[in-house]
C-alpha cells in the first residue's frame, strides 16, 4: 500500500497540515477541564459509545426489521461498519481518525424505529410543527435529550464533532447569501440550536466528517447487497450487469467457479467495497493535490466536497443505488412490512397527542402545561428514541391489535 499511495503518505507520517488538530479544537459549549490522557475527539468518541442512544441502535432497523434474523444489519452494525471505513480513509489522508470515527458513530443517532419508514411518517405528522429530520434529531439527542451528566444536558461534544454531525453531507446554507441550500428551510432543531452556537453551516465540514459521509455510502451499498441476497429478495442472476456488483461477481465466478452462495456473496461484496474505497482514496488524493490545502480552514472554504468518488465511479455507484431502490427497498415484501410499520408510528403519535400521560416517566411530566406545538415535539422525541421492539411493545400496550411486521 505504501508504494501505491505513497504520494499521499498512506498510513505513514504525522497529521497532515489540512487535518483537524485536536489541540486546536474550538472546545465545547459548556467548558470542561481537558483530559490528561485523551484528546477532545477521543473523549467525544467515548461519550458517544457509552450513550443510551448508541445502545438503542442495536434494535433499530436498517433495511430488514431487527427481529427478522440475527444476521441482518441493524443501525448498530451499520454504524460500526461505517466507522471502520471512515477510520481507514482518515488514516489514508493522515487526518484525525478519532474525529472521523466519532462522526461516523453518531451519524445515525436521530433515526427512528423502522428506519426511513418511521422518519417519513414522523416528518408528515410533524408538518405543522417544523417537520422531522433524522440529522436534526441526532443534534437534539447529543445536545438535549441524552441526560447522563450532572453539569449539562446532552453529551457536550466538541464544536468539530457537532459540525461534522450536522453538515457531513455538505453545507446547509449558501455561504454568500446564508439561504438554505436545496430550497428547503433549515430543520427546526438545527435552526434553534444555531441561535446559541454557530456551527458555520454555510461552510464545508472538515475532511474527517467528509470521510464519514462517504463511508456511509460505501457501507450501506455493500451490506444492503449482502442482506438482500441473504433474504432472497435479490439473486446473483439479477446482479449481472449491475454497476460495480456485476463486475465483482464476474471476477469471483472466474476465480472461484462453483463457490457456495454464502462465500460467493461475501467475495463479491468485499470486492465492491474495496473498489469504492480505493476509488475514493485516489480521487480524493487528486482533489487534495489540486487544492493544495495548507490548513483545515482551506478545507472549510474549498467550496466543494473533496472526499468523493471519481466521476466514473460516482456514475456507477448511482446506478447501483437505483438498482437497490427498485429491487430491494421497493420490493413488495419490504413495502408490505413498511405499510404495517407506518401504521404503528401513526397510531402511537395520535394516541400520545390525545393522551400524553400515557408516555409515562419524565416524558409525561408537566404535559398539561405544553401547547400543541411543544407537545408534538415531545411526542416526536419520545417516538424517535424508540427501538423497533419498544415501539411494537408500546403499540401492544395501547391497542388491541399490533402487526407482526413479518
Q: Quick check: 337 pLDDT over 90?
A: no
For the stretch 87-112, pLDDT in tens is 999 999 999 999 999 999 999 999 99
User: Could you tell me if residue 4 is inside a domain?
Assistant: no
Rounded to 5 degrees, φ, ψ at 355 are -135, 75
User: Could you tell me if residue 140 is inside a domain?
Assistant: yes
Instruction: Choose the weakest-confidence range: 54-63, 174-183, 265-274, 292-301.
Output: 174-183
Share of the chain above pLDDT 70, in %: 92
Distance of alpha carbon 94 from alpha carbon 206, whole angstroms: 13
* ∠ Cα 144 128 396 (to 5°): 70
What number of residues does the chain have? 406
User: Could you tell me if residue 118 is inside a domain?
Assistant: yes
User: Could you tell me if residue 406 is inside a domain?
Assistant: yes
pLDDT band at 6 (very low <50, low <70, confident <90, very high): very low
Average pLDDT (286-297) is 97
Distance of alpha carbon 65 from alpha carbon 405, whole angstroms: 8
| Average model confidence (pLDDT) across the chain | 92
User: Could you tell me if residue 154 is inside a domain?
Assistant: yes
Instruction: Quote the number of domains for the chain.
Output: 1
Is the pTM higher than 0.85? The answer reads: yes
Give the pLDDT confidence score for residue 62 in this predicted structure: 66
Q: Quick check: 30 pLDDT over 70?
A: yes
Grid cell digits, residue 306: 473533496
User: Could you tell me if residue 206 is inside a domain?
Assistant: yes
Angle between helices 261-291 and 75-92 (to 10 degrees): 40
Grid cell digits, residue 243: 454497476
More confident residue, 8 or 185: 185
For the stretch 64-88, pLDDT in tens is 554 444 557 788 999 999 999 999 9
Give the pLDDT confidence score for residue 9 in this predicted structure: 45
Distance of alpha carbon 380 from alpha carbon 345, whole angstroms: 10
Give the pLDDT confidence score for residue 71 in this predicted structure: 54
pLDDT band at 60 (very low <50, low <70, confident <90, very high): confident
* 307 to 265, 273, 358: CA distances (angstroms): 28, 16, 46
The distance of Cα 205 from the centroid of its chain, to the nearest Å, equals 15
Give the pLDDT confidence score for residue 92 in this predicted structure: 97
Give the pLDDT confidence score for residue 404 in this predicted structure: 81
For the stretch 342-367, pLDDT in tens is 999 999 999 999 999 999 999 999 99
Give the pLDDT confidence score for residue 326 in this predicted structure: 95
User: Could you tell me if residue 16 is inside a domain?
Assistant: no
> Are 134 and 111 a contacting pair, CB within 8 Å?
yes
**Count of Cβ atoms closer than 10 Å to residue 32 Cβ:** 14
CATH of the domain at 400: 1.10.3210.10
Give the pLDDT confidence score for residue 13 in this predicted structure: 62
Q: Quick check: 165 pLDDT over 50?
A: yes
pLDDT band at 250 (very low <50, low <70, confident <90, very high): very high
Distance of alpha carbon 150 from alpha carbon 177, whole angstroms: 40
Average pLDDT (230-256) is 96
Average pLDDT (152-166) is 97
Give the pLDDT confidence score for residue 42 in this predicted structure: 98
Instruction: Choose the weakest-confidence range: 200-209, 256-265, 334-343, 390-399.
Output: 334-343
pLDDT band at 4 (very low <50, low <70, confident <90, very high): very low
pLDDT band at 29 (very low <50, low <70, confident <90, very high): very high
> Are 64 and 255 a contacting pair, CB within 8 Å?
no
For the stretch 124-143, pLDDT in tens is 999 999 999 999 999 999 99
Average pLDDT (195-201) is 95
Of 60, 146, 46, the C-alpha closest to 105 is 46
Q: Quick check: 238 pLDDT over 70?
A: yes
> Are 346 and 121 a contacting pair, CB within 8 Å?
yes
Share of the chain above pLDDT 90, in %: 83
* ∠ Cα 318 322 325 (to 5°): 135
Sorted by sequence, the CB contacts under 8 Å of residue 328 that are 6+ apart come out as: 63, 224, 228, 233, 234, 334
Give the pLDDT confidence score for residue 324 in this predicted structure: 95
| Residue 374 lies in domain | 37-406
Give the pLDDT confidence score for residue 67 in this predicted structure: 44
Give the pLDDT confidence score for residue 7 in this predicted structure: 43
User: Could you tell me if residue 102 is inside a domain?
Assistant: yes
Amino acid at each position: 500500500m505504501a508504494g501505491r499511495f505513497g504520494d499521499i503518505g498512506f498510513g505513514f507520517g504525522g497529521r497532515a497540515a489540512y487535518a483537524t488538530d485536536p489541540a486546536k479544537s474550538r472546545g465545547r459549549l459548556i467548558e470542561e477541564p481537558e483530559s490528561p490522557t485523551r484528546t477532545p475527539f477521543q473523549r467525544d468518541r467515548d461519550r458517544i459509545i457509552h450513550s443510551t442512544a448508541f445502545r438503542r441502535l442495536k434494535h433499530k432497523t436498517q433495511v430488514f426489521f431487527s427481529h427478522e434474523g440475527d444476521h441482518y444489519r441493524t443501525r448498530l452494525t451499520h454504524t460500526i461498519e461505517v466507522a471502520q471505513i471512515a477510520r481507514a480513509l482518515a488514516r489514508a489522508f493522515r487526518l484525525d481518525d478519532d474525529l472521523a470515527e466519532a462522526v461516523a458513530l453518531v451519524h445515525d443517532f436521530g433515526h427512528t424505529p423502522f428506519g426511513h419508514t418511521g422518519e417519513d411518517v414522523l416528518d408528515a405528522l410533524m408538518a405543522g410543527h417544523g417537520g422531522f429530520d433524522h440529522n436534526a434529531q441526532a443534534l437534539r439527542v447529543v445536545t438535549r435529550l441524552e441526560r447522563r451528566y450532572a453539569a449539562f444536558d446532552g453529551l457536550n461534544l466538541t464544536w468539530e464533532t457537532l459540525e461534522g454531525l450536522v453538515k457531513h453531507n455538505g453545507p446547509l446554507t449558501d455561504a454568500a447569501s446564508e439561504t438554505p441550500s436545496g430550497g428547503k428551510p433549515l430543520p427546526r432543531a438545527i435552526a434553534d440550536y444555531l441561535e446559541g452556537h454557530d456551527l458555520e453551516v454555510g461552510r464545508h465540514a472538515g475532511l474527517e466528517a467528509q470521510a464519514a459521509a462517504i463511508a456511509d455510502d460505501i457501507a450501506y451499498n455493500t451490506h444492503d447487497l449482502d442482506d438482500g441476497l441473504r433474504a432472497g429478495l435479490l439473486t446473483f442472476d439479477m446482479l449481472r450487469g449491475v454497476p460495480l456488483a456485476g463486475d465483482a461477481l464476474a471476477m469471483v465466478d472466474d476465480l472461484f467457479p462453483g463457490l457456495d452462495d454464502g462465500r460467493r456473496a461475501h467475495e463479491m461484496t468485499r470486492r465492491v467495497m474495496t473498489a469504492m474505497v480505493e476509488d475514493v482514496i485516489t480521487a480524493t488524493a487528486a482533489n487534495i493535490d489540486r487544492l493544495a490545502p495548507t490548513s483545515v480552514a482551506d478545507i472549510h472554504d474549498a467550496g466543494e466536497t473533496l472526499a468523493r468518488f471519481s466521476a466514473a465511479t460516482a456514475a456507477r455507484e448511482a446506478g447501483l443505488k437505483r438498482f437497490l431502490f427498485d429491487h430491494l427497498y421497493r420490493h413488495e415484501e419490504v413495502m408490505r412490512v413498511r405499510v404495517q410499520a407506518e401504521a404503528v408510528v401513526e397510531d402511537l403519535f395520535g394516541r400520545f397527542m390525545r393522551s400524553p400521560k400515557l408516555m409515562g416517566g419524565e416524558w409525561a411530566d408537566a404535559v398539561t402545561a405544553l401547547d400543541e406545538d411543544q407537545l408534538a415535539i415531545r411526542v416526536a422525541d419520545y417516538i424517535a428514541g424508540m427501538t423497533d421492539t419498544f415501539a411494537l411493545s408500546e403499540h401492544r400496550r395501547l391497542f388491541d391489535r399490533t402487526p407482526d411486521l413479518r
